[in-house]
Structures are given as structure tokens and as C-alpha cells.
Amino acid sequence: SQTIHQWPATLVQPVGSPLSLECTVEGTSNPNLYWYRQAAGRGLQLLFYSVGIGQISSEVPQNLSASRPQDRQFILSSKKLLLSDSGFYLCAWLGVSDTQYFGPGTRLTVL
Amino acid sequence: KQEVTQIPAALSVPEGENLVLNCSFTDSAIYNLQWFRQDPGKGLTSLLLIQSSQREQTSGRLNASLDKSSGRSTLYIAASQPGDSATYLCAVRGHSGNTPLVFGKGTRLSVIA
């Protein structure tokens, strides 16, 4: 069966520090992968999506970036965090049945 | 640009009641529609997926319908239970399977025992 992992589960970082969030999918190959952010009181915002290794589409201009170094690994990064980067970050993948599945999320607090 | 709206934003019902959650979308040219559940501090759990050619899907006490021409979907929950308390999100995918989902802001449901 397929599973999706995200780490860390929670993170508290100072403004201006770097960020690296990791997402790994097991039990499937060449999945479409997605990064979303959910901020307090706001909806789910798509940040990046990838249809294959090295293929990244950015939906929202910001100080975040994404990379897909391996087929089942998706990384979200920042060189310098802003207060507005605080939120709940969710990774997702698209199953063969067209159903989208989400990971458990990472709660990021920027102080 | 596709926009998804969910009404109401919050709903409180007594246990045992049947209820309907509403979702509307502005562009009827969708590939599919998916309903999710989110518990506080957790990721999203897929409930039902309706392909654009389908009218409804059922899973246990849940039934989701799709009227693509009018840009509407409903999620019907029968005999609600306190364990159904969560935020329910509707999302639509555009014209192909590779198009990202566009989400509504969700309906926060509280089922009171």
C-alpha cells in the first residue's frame, strides 16, 4: 500500500533562518506531488507541484522553493524565513485512481 | 480562474440528524471533484471522488452528488455522529488529470451529543 511521510511534524524557526521540509512517498512510482500551505483562517493554498524528477511548477511567487531530487521525494525550502511563512504545510500525491492523498503535515511557526 | 465556494462556513447539529454540505464552483469544465475531511491539526483524508461523467458516489453514511452543468456538489451525511465533527473540504480538478486541485475554504461541522 502507498504511504506518505512528512518531517518534521512541528518546527519553530526564527525569522531569517533557512527551512527544509521533506516529503517522501512509498509504494508508488512517478507520482504527481504537491506542496500546500494552510494558514490560520485561510484556505488551502497550492505552492508547488511536480509531475516528475526535476519538474517543478510554482503557483505563488514567494521566498519558497521546491525540489524533487528523487522520484518519490519532494522538498520545500527557503533561504530566509518570513513571519508570513508560518502555517501548516501539507504534501500530497496523486494516486492512479485520480484520488489525491495527503500527508500528516508540518506545523511551522516563525518567530 | 476556477473558484470554489463552500456554504455554510460552520454548522452545528444534534447527533442523529441528516445534513447536507454545499460546494459550488465557477468553471463547469472539471475533470473530477473530491471531498475531504480534516481533523484539527491533521492532514486531509479523502472521502469521495466523483469523476466528471458521474452523478454521485456513496461510501457508508456519506453520499456525494455532482451537477456539473450548474457547478454544484453536495455531501450528504446520514445519521450524524459526534465522530463526524471535522472540517469538510471540497476540491475540483480542471480539464485533465494533471491539473492541480482547487479547494474551497471548508465547512466546519460540529455534531453535538
Q: Which of A44, A98, A105 sits opposite B42 (nearest CB)?
A: A105
Contact B86, B36 (CB under 8 A): no
Mean pLDDT of B58-87: 97
pLDDT in tens, B10-57: 999 999 999 999 999 999 999 999 999 999 999 999 999 999 999 999
Give the cell for residue A99: 484520488
Terminal CA-to-CA distance of chain A, rounded, Å? 38
**Which residue from B minimizes the CA distance to A50?**
B98
Cis peptide before A8 (omega within 30 of 0): yes
Q: Is B60 on the interface with A (CB under 8 A)?
A: no
C-alpha span between A74 and A42 (Å, rounded): 24
* Backbone φ and ψ of A54, nearest 5°: 75, 0
DSSP string, B22-72: EEEES----SEEEEEEE-TTS-EEEEEEEETT-SEEEETTEEEEEETTTTE
Per-residue tens of pLDDT for chain A, all 111 residues: 778 999 999 999 999 999 999 999 998 888 899 999 998 777 899 999 999 998 999 887 678 999 999 999 999 999 999 999 999 999 999 987 889 999 999 999 999
Q: Which of residues 18-47 of A touch B (CB under 8 A)?
A: 32, 34, 42-44, 46
Contact B83, B29 (CB under 8 A): no
**Which residue from A minimizes the CA distance to B37?**
A102
- A61 Cβ contact list (under 8 Å, min separation 6): none
Closest to A60 measured CA to CA, from A44, A40, A81: A44
Q: Is A102 on the interface with B (CB under 8 A)?
A: yes
Give the cell for residue A68: 524533487
Q: Which of residues 29-58 of B touch A (CB under 8 A)?
A: 31-32, 34, 36, 41-46, 49, 51
